[in-house]
Amino acid sequence: MNIKEKLEQREIDNLSEFATKSRFTKGRKKVYTPCDVRTEFQRDRDKILHSKAFRRLKHKTQVFLSPFDDHFRTRLTHTLEVSQIARTIARALDMNEDLTEAIALGHDLGHTPFGHCGEGVLNELVKGGFHHNIQSVRVVEVLEDLNLCAETIDGILTHTWGYTPKTPEAQIVQLADKIAYINHDIEDSIRAGIISESDLPKDCIDYFSSVQTKRLNIMINEIIKNSVGKPNVTMSEEAWHYTTKLREWMFENVYIDSPAKLEEKKAKNVIKELFFLYCDMLKPVCEERKIERIVTDYISGMTDRYAVEKFKENFIPKGLQTGAREDYLFKLANLVD
């Protein structure tokens, strides 16, 4: 057996009976050359990690728009935290850690600049709406053509609440995403002075702890203890009640109408003006039915700072550009004996 076949056999011998085995993947849409070293899900993880969309996540908003403080989360650091939490759960439950990691790393590739604020604007402008999980699938299937396995694509699509994942690994990422953003957004909001630790709901803190590391540990353990030896991955009912309550509290106190959102009106205007500008630019050279799709793909792929620069370039007037001239330098040369 080559290395890949050994790894596949190791999965079959050691993983849970409910885990998704890479040897039995539903496969890719396009013909490809197999790898002798990596399993199919390891290969998916690497494809995502090396994609341009993944690199751009470092300059996309999580909650705080274009923060200058390097300690605030960006969409990239959020993704890495989701991956870490998901891998911990998958390892503890003997699920496929490689598939879990691939889904986690790819789940937000289609996110817009300015976070959910940008997503909301495109959702209003685009016929049929815009949803970042669907755009993430479009990124890996069309825009970057990564040719991923069906299980990875399903996990990326269903990481958003309201979807039903087809694998336990995708269920893990769906939960890990919620756990990650609730906890790191609390930490960032405290750092920003928007809330304080004492503001958090007392019953949630009594259950989980006010200390982030302890709170994370309890949430993760509640999933593990409730899911060992079961085909579905879920959190205990009591823990899920308090997790949901904490999430709702964050929406009321941070995600909506808080100081963290003061710049969102400007950010929405940036997205809106660029959308109309690019639609007009394409009208003379492109079929009308394609324009909205092209512009949506272009804008959703932008980083925060690239969107701002394009707005400045197109809507902020510049002074007359005359170029650098060194006439005075040579005039001085003629005056010196």
With cut-offs at 50, 70 and 90, classify the pLDDT of residue 333. confident
> CA 91: distance to chain centroid?
22
Residue 331 lies in a domain: no
251-255, 271-275, 319-323, range with the lowest pLDDT: 319-323
Residue 326 in this model has a pLDDT that exceeds 80: no
- Do 111 and 145 belong together in one domain? yes
**CATH (domain of 90):** 1.10.3210.10
309 & 248 share domain: no
**What's the rounded Cα separation, in Å, for the pair 64 and 264?**
10
Residue 72 has pLDDT above 70, yes or no: yes
Average pLDDT over the chain reads: 94
Identify the burial level of 28 via C-beta atoms within 10 angstroms of its C-beta, where 0-12 means exposed, 13-18 middle and 19 or more buried: middle
Residue predicted with more confidence, 261 or 156: 156
- Crossing angle, helix 150-157 and helix 97-106, to 10 degrees? 50
- Residue 115: pLDDT band (50, 70, 90) is very high
What's the pLDDT at 4? 98
Which of 18-32, 66-80, 108-122, 277-291 shows the lowest per-residue confidence on average (mean pLDDT)?
A: 66-80
Report helix, strand or coil for 83. helix
pLDDT value of residue 332: 73
% pLDDT > 90, the chain: 87
79 & 58 share domain: yes
Range(s) of the domain holding residue 39: 3-261
Mean pLDDT along residues 250-257: 89
Q: Which of 78-82, 106-110, 191-195, 216-220 has the lowest mean pLDDT?
A: 191-195
Give the per-residue pLDDT at 82: 98
How far, rounded to the nearest angstrom, does the alpha carbon of residue 152 sit from its chain's CA centroid?
15
Is residue 73 a part of any domain in this protein? yes
Q: What is the pLDDT of residues 186-200, one digit of tens each?
A: 999 999 999 999 999
Q: What integer pLDDT is reported at residue 273 of this predicted model?
A: 98
Question: Both 14 and 114 in a single domain?
Answer: yes
Strand, coil or helix: 56: helix
Q: Which helix (H) or strand (E) holds 265?
A: helix 264-282
Contacts with 239 (C-beta within 8 Å, 6 or more apart), sequence order: 207, 218, 219, 222, 223, 226
Residue where one domain finishes, among candidates 191, 226, 261: 261
Q: Determine the average pLDDT of the residues in 195-209.
A: 95
How many other β-carbons are positioned within 10 Å of the β-carbon of residue 136? 23
The pLDDT of residue 67 is: 58
Indicate whether 290 and 151 sit together in one domain: no
In Å, how far are 151, 164, 197, 244 from 155, measured between CA atoms?
A: 6, 9, 34, 21
- Residue 267's pLDDT is 94
228 lies in the same domain as 282: no
Both 184 and 298 in one domain: the answer is no
Domain count, the chain: 2
- Is 70 exceeded by the pLDDT of residue 25? yes
Residue 110 has pLDDT above 70, yes or no: yes
pLDDT of residue 68: 65
| 174/288 same-domain check | no
Residue 121 and residue 34 share a domain: yes
Same domain, 115 and 250: yes
Answer whether residue 258 shows pLDDT above 90. Answer: no
Residue 335, in any domain of the structure: no
- 285 and 244 share one domain: no
Domain assignment present for 185? yes
Residues 97 and 172 placed together within one structural domain of the fold: yes
Region 76-90: what's the mean pLDDT?
Answer: 98
Q: How far is CA 323 from CA 165, 317, 318, 320, 329, in A?
A: 58, 17, 13, 9, 15
Long-range contacts of 84-92 (CB under 8 A, 24+ apart): 85/176, 85/179, 85/180, 85/216, 85/220, 86/172, 86/173, 86/176, 88/220, 89/172, 89/175, 89/176, 89/220, 89/223, 89/224, 89/233, 90/169, 90/172, 92/224, 92/228
Q: Is the pLDDT of residue 133 over 90?
A: yes
